[in-house]
Amino acid sequence: MPDASNAIETIDLGSYAHDLSMWGLFMQADIIVKAVMIMLLLASLWSWSIIFGKRSTLKKLNRKANIFEDSFWSGEPLDKIYARVKNSKQDPMLSTFAAGMEEWQAGVAGGMPLKESLQASLRQRVERAMNVAISREMNALERGMTFLASVGSTAPFIGLFGTVWGIMNSFSSIAATNNTSLAVVAPGIAEALFATALGLVAAIPAAVSYNVFSSGLNRYADRLEAFADEFSAILSRHLDAQEHGGKGGKKAA
């Protein structure tokens, strides 16, 4: 009786019908796998918010640095540049410049030539002030990078945990029903593998973006340090010019 057998098989298969859409896989998963999926989804969303924010910030900072460096090397006296930008310390390069100028102006207050020992001390204080400013600004720019690194390295393992847990539940269902039909096994396996897929979806953009932004932040830090070195050299030449009664290039104060 082939027709009856086919009908019984159809009924049995239909009784195990599952929704294999992403939403269906989520709803059919147990509480542990659901928690893993929600955690990975939230991590992915937060990672993307950091990614878009960092991309916009780096682009804006490099554009502002180009504008400031054009002004800095235009020949305009440094005290005039400082007066114009001293209230704009939200920009790292301006903060570095302002930190150096503040220390410089405090050291040369009174306009009297400094002794050689005081000149060396002033140079060190200016360099230290700019280094502290650079360190503070880079620490602020690097916020969120640790989270990207953590998601990139741990999300696949969190997803794998959800997969292993889901497969264990599938095997438990097989043992309980004593049925190894693909219609019984496949939905549980699909739910489990969906957790791994979510882990990779969260991890790959985070890992790639972390590497890209780390490189961009390192280049920007190098740019700030190079600017600080050049600025320090200008101020040092100005001190030498004061000592010998000559001219030291760009006028500092």
Residue type, 195: A
For residue 155, tell me if it sits in a domain: yes
Q: What is the dihedral angle through the alpha carbons of 46, 51, 57, 58, rounded to the nearest 10 degrees?
A: 150
**For position 111, what pLDDT does the model report?**
55
**For position 34, what pLDDT does the model report?**
86
- SS3 string of the chain? CHHHHHHHHHHHHHHCCCCCCHHHHHHHCCHHHHHHHHHHHHHHHHHHHHHHHHHHHHHHHHHHHHHHHHHHCCCCCHHHHHHHHCCCCCCHHHHHHHHHHHHHHHHCCCCCCCCHHHHHHHHHHHHHHHHHHHHHHHHHHCCCHHHHHHHHHHHHHHHHHHHHHHHHHHHHHHHHHCCCCHHHHHHHHHHHHHHHHHHHHHHHHHHHHHHHHHHHHHHHHHHHHHHHHHHHHHHHHHHHHHHHCCCCCCCCC
**For position 179, what pLDDT does the model report?**
64
For residue 109, tell me if it sits in a domain: yes
Instruction: Find the domain containing 214 and state its range.
Output: 2-244
Averaged confidence pLDDT in the chain: 81
- Tell me the percentage of the chain whose pLDDT exceeds 90: 42
- Greater pLDDT, 10 or 217: 217
**For position 86, what pLDDT does the model report?**
77
Domain count, the chain: 1
- Greater pLDDT, 194 or 24: 194
For residue 251, tell me if it sits in a domain: no
Q: What is the mean pLDDT of residues 210-239?
A: 92
For residue 252, tell me if it sits in a domain: no
**For position 24, what pLDDT does the model report?**
66
How many Cα neighbours within 13 Å face the side chain of 129?
22
pLDDT range class, residue 63, cuts 50, 70, 90: very high
The C-alpha angle with vertex 161 and arms to 202 and 155, in degrees rounded to 5, equals: 20
For residue 249, tell me if it sits in a domain: no
For residue 250, tell me if it sits in a domain: no
**For position 15, what pLDDT does the model report?**
42
Q: What is the mean pLDDT of residues 31-59?
A: 93
**For position 153, what pLDDT does the model report?**
94
Report pLDDT digits (tens) over 70-93.
Answer: 988 888 888 888 888 877 667 899
**For position 190, what pLDDT does the model report?**
75
**For position 156, what pLDDT does the model report?**
94
Q: Are 144 and 53 in contact (CB under 8 A)?
A: yes
For residue 169, tell me if it sits in a domain: yes
Q: What is the mean pLDDT of residues 168-183?
A: 71
Q: Inform me whether the pLDDT recorded for 41 exceeds 70.
A: yes
- Greater pLDDT, 86 or 209: 209
**For position 7, what pLDDT does the model report?**
42
Token look-up 């998601």 returns 151
Structure tokens at 160: 């794998």
Report pLDDT digits (tens) over 90-129.
Answer: 789 999 999 999 888 887 765 545 566 667 788 889 999 9
pLDDT range class, residue 244, cuts 50, 70, 90: low
Q: Measured between alpha carbons, how far is 140 from 7 in angstroms, rounded to an integer?
A: 67
For residue 122, tell me if it sits in a domain: yes
Structure tokens at 209: 């973006």
